[in-house]
Every structure is written in C-alpha cells, then in structure tokens.
C-alpha cells in the first residue's frame, strides 16, 4: 500500500541531485511522524526507499534536502491514513483481497527461504574451489582473427586465397558475416578458451603463431581462423570476481537443490479428464525415455 502514492516522489528523489551537502545518515532510529496518534519510524521510510532501488542500495532519508523529505513524509502520512480507512471499511476481509494477500505471503516466504538456503549452500570453500577451477581453465589467452562465412565451400575458397598470399584483413572486411569483427579485419582481440564455443577454441589451441586454420564449423557458420599470438594470462584476484562467482554458484547450487527436491517427490500431472502421468524431471530426461 505504501508504494502506491510514494512511487512518484521516490522516483524523483532517486533520479535528481537533491541531497543536502552536509547531511549525514543518523545511526539511530526514531519516530519521524505521528499520524492520528500512530507512530511511523524513520526506518520505515528508509525501507520504502530501498524497495525502489535494485539491491536496496538507496540513499538514507537523512541525506535528502528538506523539501524532498517533506514530500516523502506527506506521502507516507497519506498512505497511512488511506490504509487505516481501507481497513475500517473491511476491504481486507473480501475473498479477492485475502487471496492476493495469501499469494503475496507465499512469494515472500519462498524468497526469504531461498535467500537463507543460498547463504547455507554457497560456502567460502565452494567459492574458492570455483575460483581455482575458473583460473585453471583460463590461464592462457589467445589473440586471433577470423573470417565467418555461411558455407564450407566459401570457407575452402577463402582458405585457398590465403594460401596464395591473400590479405586476411582485406578478405575479412569483404567477406566475413561477423560484421563487428569483419570491419576490423576479423580482429577478435585477446580471449581465453572458455569465452568461445568449444570447436572454435579447440581449433585456436591447435594453431601455432601466425598459422591459419582449415575451415572450422560452429553453430554460427564456417570460420577461417588466424592465430596472431598467445600468452599466459594473469588470473584475476579472488576478491575482484568474488561477486560474479557468488552469483554463478548461487544459481547452480539452488537449481541443483530444487531439482533434487523434485526428483525425491512423486509429482503427477492430470489433464482435464483426470488422466494422470508422472511429471518429467527435465526435458533431457524425457527425451531419453
């Protein structure tokens, strides 16, 4: 309810430089409004601000200029009064509202459980193991160019031209279907093997410096690849990619946890006629049967 009227004021507050220059967030909570005998604390205003910002990284209420503070507080007061009036009419007891409250409560409980489960699953040891695996698979970097065409015949024709002394840069600009790299003569810059599709990476790894590959097929088409250089990469520090690793590991471990729950539970699908069948565990599982 509080989000309904405050949204415009909060969006304005967070999109404009409306902070008081010498303002400092206050450490303690206190009653910031008294509305018809009811107390509203500053922490409630701060929580509302956080709900409108990704990751909850909103500036504290104390940092806003006086006029913006007054706007936010007026909205808080108005919403408090509307909420009390709505409850007085008994609207919260209607079946439709009860159903919506139950659905919202269910989602809140699920989200909180997943948040707690993620903290439990993603340990420091698992993060460090993921880090070691990541730097192990990406310790060598490659600098290469490529020319991408649609057919094997086109790729073989380009291969012949290059063997006869053709200019890789010029041919890439004229023929490559990869327009972004083609404009730069097929230049791909420096990359690690894990950044490319496996067949492409395997071909690059097998090349010697300044060597040109035979046609290589991927889902994108046919490639002619020239390896310009290779070097040992300096691995990123653990702290620099910890957040990225946490997100990746969280997604995987929570997904594995949910899959395990489904596998250990009998789940039946019924059609409109009451005919039942087991729910497939996953698309790949059903394909194997």
pLDDT digits (tens, 9 = 90+) for 41-94: 988 888 888 877 666 677 778 888 889 889 989 988 998 999 999 999 999 999
Give 198-202's long-range contacts (Cβ < 8 A, gap of 24+).
Answer: 200/146, 200/225
The structure tokens 């729910």 sit at 279
Structure pTM? 0.57
Q: What percent of the chain has pLDDT over 90?
A: 63
Residue 129 counted as domain residue = no
Whether 203 and 216 have beta carbons less than 8 Å apart is answered as yes
Residues 19 and 78 both lie in one domain: yes
User: Which residues face 223 on adjacent strands?
Assistant: 148, 216
pLDDT score, position 199: 96
Tell me how many degrees the CA angle 19-24-30 measures, rounded to the nearest 5. Answer: 105
| Residue where a domain terminates, one of 33, 62, 93 | 93
Residues 17 and 88 both lie in one domain: yes
| Residue where a domain terminates, one of 201, 232, 263 | 232
Residues 227 and 265 both lie in one domain: no
Q: What are the φ/ψ torsions at residue 279 (nearest 5 degrees)?
A: -75, 125
pLDDT score, position 138: 61
Residues 254 and 206 both lie in one domain: no
Strands 268-270 and 221-232 turn out to be: unpaired
Q: Show the low-confidence residues of the chain (pLDDT under 50).
A: 1-2, 4-5, 8-9, 11-23, 25, 284-289
Whether 242 and 264 have beta carbons less than 8 Å apart is answered as no
Four-residue CA torsion sign, 61, 62, 65, 66:
positive
Number of domains in the chain: 3
CA dihedral 263, 266, 269, 273 (to 10 degrees): 170
Residues 146 and 226 both lie in one domain: yes
> How far apart are the C-alpha atoms of 249 and 127, rounded to whole Å?
7
Query: Encoding tokens for residue 147?
Result: 């020319």
| Residue where a domain terminates, one of 232, 259, 280 | 232
Cα of 32 vs its chain's centroid, Å: 36
User: Residue 143's domain spans which residues?
Assistant: 139-232
Residues 183 and 149 both lie in one domain: yes
Of 5, 8, 1, 250, nearest to 104 by C-alpha is 1
Residues 256 and 217 both lie in one domain: no
pLDDT score, position 86: 95
> How far apart are the C-alpha atoms of 223 and 191, rounded to whole Å?
17
pLDDT score, position 194: 84
């Amino acid at each position: 309810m509080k989000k309904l009227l405050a949204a415009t004021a909060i969006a304005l507050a967070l999109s404009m430089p409306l902070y008081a220059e010498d303002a400092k967030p206050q450490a303690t909570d206190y009653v910031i409004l008294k509305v018809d005998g009811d107390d509203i604390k500053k922490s409630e205003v701060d929580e509302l601000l956080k709900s409108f910002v990704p990751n909850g990284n909103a500036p504290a209420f104390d940092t806003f200029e006086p006029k913006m503070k007054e706007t936010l507080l007026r909205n808080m007061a108005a919403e408090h009064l509307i909420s009390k009036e709505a409850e007085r009419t008994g609207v919260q007891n209607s079946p439709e509202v009860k159903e919506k409250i139950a659905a919202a409560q269910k989602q809140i409980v699920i989200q909180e459980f997943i948040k707690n489960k993620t903290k439990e699953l993603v340990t420091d040891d698992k993060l460090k193991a993921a880090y070691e695996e990541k730097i192990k698979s990406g310790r060598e970097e490659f600098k290469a160019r490529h020319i991408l065409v649609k057919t094997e015949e086109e790729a073989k024709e380009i291969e012949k031209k290059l063997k006869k002394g053709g200019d890789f840069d010029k041919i890439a600009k004229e023929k490559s279907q990869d327009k972004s790299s083609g404009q730069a003569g097929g230049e791909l810059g420096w990359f690690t093997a894990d950044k490319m599709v496996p067949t492409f990476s395997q071909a690059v790894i097998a090349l010697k410096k300044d060597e040109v590959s035979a046609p290589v097929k991927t889902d994108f088409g046919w490639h002619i690849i020239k390896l310009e250089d290779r070097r040992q990469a300096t691995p990123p520090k653990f702290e620099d990619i910890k957040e990225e690793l946490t997100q990746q590991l969280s997604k995987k471990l929570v997904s594995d946890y949910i899959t395990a729950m489904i596998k250990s539970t009998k789940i039946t699908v019924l059609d409109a006629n009451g005919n039942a069948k087991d729910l497939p565990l996953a698309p790949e599982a059903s394909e194997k049967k």
